[in-house]
Amino acid sequence: MQPTTILIVDDEPANIEVLAAVLEHYDVRFALTGREGLLRARFAPLPDLILLDVMLPDLDGYAVCSELKGDPTTAEIPVIFVTALSDPRSEARGLEIGAVDYISKPFSPAIVRARVRNHLEIKRSRALLQKLAVTDSLTGLYNRRHFDQAIEYEAHRHLRRELPLSLVLLDVDHFKRYNDFYGHPAGDDCLRRVAAAIASALKRPADVAARIGGEEFACLLPETDQVGALAVAELIREAISALAIPHASSEVSDIVTASLGVASLAGSDQSGAARLCQLADTNLYRAKSNGRNRVEGNG
Ligand SMILES: [Mg+2]
């Protein structure tokens, strides 16, 4: 696990020294001006939390905070103002522009430590909830909800940038029979292994693999044309066969196999996400009616 990083932005080295001593269990970075703070806030790995002085020589703390909150890269980093301005109006202003808390100077080390710990804990819980909200609990792939959002997002990006976009839909062949024959726990295990095989065949971070139904999976492949998508689909099919999971009640084979339908939108194609799904679904249907354990696309 990466160490927790805290960025302290303060123009008085003495303050930085005291805060760094209070937060010695964390990996502490610091900046002496607002601009330097903005720069360091964007260094990878991103800080987990920022302690921000309001009175700085160049940009004031409010301007720095507004800029951090307006940038998608840094918007999620909690900011705590550390300031001698402890009137309610200043506090309200800081909280309105997105700070999570306020610590007044002179500060008590115990309070700084406790507030930092609390906000780091809130941030961790929120990140975990966000991950759970998009994850299929059985397989660890993305879930249907995330897939629906991702395909809309990618379809818009495809239109704007005129890049190809492809979709692979996949059904495990005769999965109901597998469940009936081997039982549901074995069925779940089979789906987990198929999911891992799908994930292993996708090489790019932008590819989205999701479980969208019982034994239905989808892979969204941005910036991929039909030729590329057919190759990926074939890799997935082979990876599933290579698992060699026995399937005594399949008509297709004595192991678990899958049927795959591929569809692509060329960069100039404006027909959209719904049309892409429809095409892939038609091709999946064709893969099934042509004997299963195969990939069908257009071309
Ligand atoms: Mg200051």
Q: Which domain holds residue 282?
A: 144-296
Ligand 1 mean position to 48 CA, how many Å? Answer: 22
> Binning pLDDT at 50, 70 and 90, where does residue 91 land?
confident
Task: Indicate whether 125 and 155 sit together in one domain.
Answer: no
C-beta neighbour count of 165 within 10 angstroms: 27
Neighbours of ion ligand 1 (CB under 5 A): 11, 53, 55
The region of weakest confidence among 26-40, 89-103, 128-142, 223-237 is 89-103
Query: pLDDT at position 145, please?
Result: 96
C-alpha distance from residue 141 to each of 137, 154, 195 (Å):
8, 18, 7
Query: pLDDT at position 237, please?
Result: 98
Domain final position from 68, 103, 132: 132
Crossing angle of helices 184-201 and 226-243, rounded to 10°: 140
Query: pLDDT at position 299, please?
Result: 62
Ligand 1 mean position to 117 CA, how many Å? Answer: 23
Question: Mean pLDDT over residues 190-214, rounded?
Answer: 96
Whether 137 maps to a domain, the answer reads no
Query: pLDDT at position 34, please?
Result: 96
Ligand 1 mean position to 95 CA, how many Å? Answer: 18
Whether 288 maps to a domain, the answer reads yes
Ligand 1 mean position to 5 CA, how many Å? Answer: 21
Task: Indicate whether 157 and 101 sit together in one domain.
Answer: no
CB 167 within 8 A of CB 261: no
Q: What is the CATH number of the domain that holds 63?
A: 3.40.50.2300
State the burial class of residue 96 (Cβ atoms within 10 Å of its Cβ: 0-12, 13-18, 19+): exposed
Q: Please list the active-site residues.
A: 215
Ligand 1 mean position to 56 CA, how many Å? Answer: 5
What single-letter DSSP state applies at residue 142? B
The tokens of 236 are what? Answer: 């997935």
State the burial class of residue 88 (Cβ atoms within 10 Å of its Cβ: 0-12, 13-18, 19+): exposed
Question: H helices within 140-225, ranges in order?
Answer: 144-161, 175-182, 184-201
Ligand 1 mean position to 76 CA, how many Å? Answer: 24
How far is 114 from 116, CA to CA, in rounded Å?
5
Is pTM beyond 0.85? Reply is no
Query: pLDDT at position 172, please?
Result: 98
How far is 171 from 158, CA to CA, in rounded Å?
26
Task: Indicate whether 158 and 290 sit together in one domain.
Answer: yes
- Percent of the residues in the chain that have a pLDDT greater than 70, as a whole number: 99
Reported residue count of the chain is 299
Task: Indicate whether 163 and 114 sit together in one domain.
Answer: no
Q: What is the CATH number of the domain that holds 162?
A: 3.30.70.270
Task: Indicate whether 157 and 284 sit together in one domain.
Answer: yes
Give per-residue pLDDT as tens, 230-252.
Answer: 999 999 999 999 999 999 999 88
Please work out, in degrees rounded to the nearest 5, the angle formed at the alpha carbon of residue 93 by the alpha carbons of 89 and 97: 170
Task: Indicate whether 148 and 291 sit together in one domain.
Answer: yes
Task: Indicate whether 26 and 125 sit together in one domain.
Answer: yes
Question: Mean pLDDT over residues 29-44, rounded?
Answer: 95
Residue 101 DSSP SS3: strand
Ligand 1 mean position to 58 CA, how many Å? Answer: 10
Ligand 1 mean position to 38 CA, how many Å? Answer: 15
Task: Indicate whether 114 and 175 sit together in one domain.
Answer: no
For the chain, what is the domain count? 2
Query: pLDDT at position 8, please?
Result: 96
Segment (H or E) for 251: none
Query: pLDDT at position 88, please?
Result: 84
Task: Indicate whether 210 and 284 sit together in one domain.
Answer: yes
Question: Mean pLDDT over residues 80-98, rounded?
Answer: 86
Residues 6+ apart with CB under 8 A from 287: 259, 260, 261, 294, 295, 296
Task: Indicate whether 184 and 42 sit together in one domain.
Answer: no
Domain final position from 112, 132, 152: 132
